[in-house]
Amino acid sequence: MEKISHFIDGKIYSSSSSRTGPIFNPAIGQQIAEVELANKDTVKLAIESASKAFVKWSKTTPISRSRILSKYKELIIKNMNELAELVSKQHGKTIPDSKGSIQRGIEVIEYATGITSALKGEHSTSVGTNVDSHTLRQPLGVCAGITPFNFPAMVPMWMFPVAIACGNTFVLKPSEKDPSCPLKLAELAIEAGIPPGVLNVVNGDKEAVDTILEDKNVQAISFVGSTPIAEYVYHNGTKNNKRVQALGGAKNHMVIMPDADVEKTTDAIIGSAFGSAGERCMAISVAVCVGDKTKEKIKNNLLEKTEKLNVGPYTDEKNDFGPLNNKAHYEKVLGYIDSGEKEGAKLISDGRNFKLQGYENGYFVGPTIFDDVKANMKIYKEEIFGPVLSIVTTKTYDEALTLVNDHELGNGAAVFTRSGNIAKHFTENAKIGMIGVNVPIPVPVAYHSFGGWKRSLFGDHSIHGPDGVRFYTKLKTATVTWVEDNAGPEFTIPVLS
Ligand code: NAD
């Protein structure tokens, strides 16, 4: 059976003393590989390699780093098919979906190649007589990234291209569920000319994460995953004086106004609720219909279109979405559907008994829709992270906005309407990090920053874009004069004039 290990100091690294974890093909429910789960020593080796590489890499000029990243981008484009296959095989999503996620990662690399502009400081002349002032943004040192199973290529690429473009070195701890694509990304980095030690990958679980949280040489941690672990990483990382950005889970609402275009809106719901089997932190999982008439129109159209969806393995191009990633998660999603039924929501499309010949042991759940969902139900309050949509009906727009704002998670939300006033009001008043106006999955492009509010993000920085540069650099301000006259010691706080 294939054994997957780590990538440290520019080469594959294997440790005979590691525990291992199984990797499954989720479409058939069978183990296809095993991954080494790094112990403390392996993680420390990666951090040491990154610390050593920092000395030289941080002094490499930004334009040189930018040129290397341009080559890296070209290599990723050249290897797109292989990378997408690695993602789909271990995650389960369709090939076009994997390619789309890699493309989003490539865009972050493109942004990072513009680091020469992003690192430019500010300059003020004559802050005093013959005195100037300027700012510098300097790298932090060793940064670490801890990433979830649902985007094994894109989420790591939200982090390390910006971090290393800023002059830092990086230790990536990807999800232990689908680790092959991140390893390939590290191999390609070496081929592009990124020096050994600048990007290391350690596979592992809690032991690896805790080692990162405790190691004094790690200066900053980017985390993306579920809310409880995001909170854990944020509290323990900051307790150890590290800079931490920890992005957590989501429960994204789409508010549908009576004037919304029914066809366009239902297509948007279907793609965003069921695409990638709902395993996206920007998936729409709650459709809030304003008014009973709106609900009836949307519901009927949704049911009609949902019946036509194709669910199956990534190897069959006609499929719209694939299985859930792993058995524990599959059982959890089924448990949520059972709980919704028990709590009195109306199950109008039931994906529980989905079966496909030849794939009976795969972790497939068909498109599932609950109507009459209430705010006190578990299926409304908690993130399900599967192809399960809740429909909630409100009498007014204000009631819909209150629902959005009262939810403890605040990653993304969308409003579908023809009214500019409603769209403006929603954008300004929703307590949410990323807003879509007639756009169901409002994922910011690479040169803007991605991040939620409330319990969807712990820390003060969003990821990639300008906030990524701020997160991965320290600000320094220099005040400079070259006047040679000596006026003698000054004992009060200097007032420059
Ligand atoms: P997860 O929280 O279980 O795992 C994320 C990472 O944390 C993995 O690398 C894992 O190895 C590690 N980890 C797991 N348990 C740990 C523990 N007890 N102690 C220390 N480390 C631990 O998340 P997941 O199941 O891999 O991914 C799905 C979640 O990620 C969903 O909640 C989804 O919303 C979220 N997500 C959020 C975003 C975002 O941008 N906000 C993006 C993608 C995914």
pLDDT averaged per 10 residues, the chain (length 497): 96 91 96 97 98 98 98 98 97 97 98 96 95 97 98 98 98 98 98 98 98 98 98 98 98 98 97 97 97 98 96 95 97 98 97 92 97 98 98 98 98 98 98 98 96 98 98 97 85 79
Cα separation of 119 and 166, whole Å? 8
Reading the block at residue 495, the tokens are 């007032």
What pLDDT, on the 0 to 100 scale, is given for residue 149?
98
Does residue 449 line the site of ligand 1, with CB under 6 A? no
3-state secondary structure of 338: helix
Q: Count of CB atoms within 10 A of residue 35's CB?
A: 28
The answer to whether 173 touches 148, Cβ cutoff 8 Å, is no
- Listed in sequence order, the residues at least 6 apart from 414 whose beta carbon sits closer than 8 Å to its beta carbon are 252, 253, 254, 255, 268, 284, 435, 436, 437, 438, 439, 440, 442
- Please state, in angstroms and rounded to a whole number, the distance separating the CA atoms of residues 212 and 40: 9
- Active-site residue flag, 281: yes
Q: Does residue 247's CB lie within 6 angstroms of at least one atom of ligand 1?
A: yes
* 149 touches ligand 1 (CB under 6 Å): yes
Joined tokens for residue 275: 């695409």
User: How high is the mean pLDDT of the chain?
Assistant: 97
State whether the beta carbon of 205 lies less than 6 angstroms from ligand 1: yes
Catalytic hit among 143, 181, 281, 289: 281
* Encoded tokens for 465: 């874009």
Closest atom of ligand 1 relative to the 457 alpha carbon: 41
**Domains plus CATH for the chain?**
2-248+456-478 (3.40.605.10), 252-437 (3.40.309.10)
Q: Provide the strand spans (E) within 315-400.
A: 346-349, 368-371, 388-394
- pLDDT score at 491: 85
Q: Which of 371, 368, 384, 355 is nearest to 279 (CA)?
A: 384
Burial 198-235 (b: 16+ CB within 10 A, else e): bbbbbbbeeebbbbbbebeebbbbbbbbebebbebbbe
Q: Please tell me if the CB atom of residue 94 comes closer than 6 angstroms to any atom of ligand 1.
A: no
Asked if 463 contacts 224 with a C-beta cutoff of 8 angstroms, the reply is yes
d(CA 72, CA 74): 5
Smallest CA separation from ligand 1 atom 23, residue: 225
pLDDT at 290: 98
Output the pLDDT for position 314: 96
Regarding beta strands 434-437 and 412-416, do their DSSP bridges make them parallel or antiparallel, or are they unpaired?
A: parallel
* 185-230 per-position pLDDT tens digit: 999 999 999 999 999 999 999 999 999 999 999 999 999 999 999 9
26 CA → ligand 1 middle, Å: 18
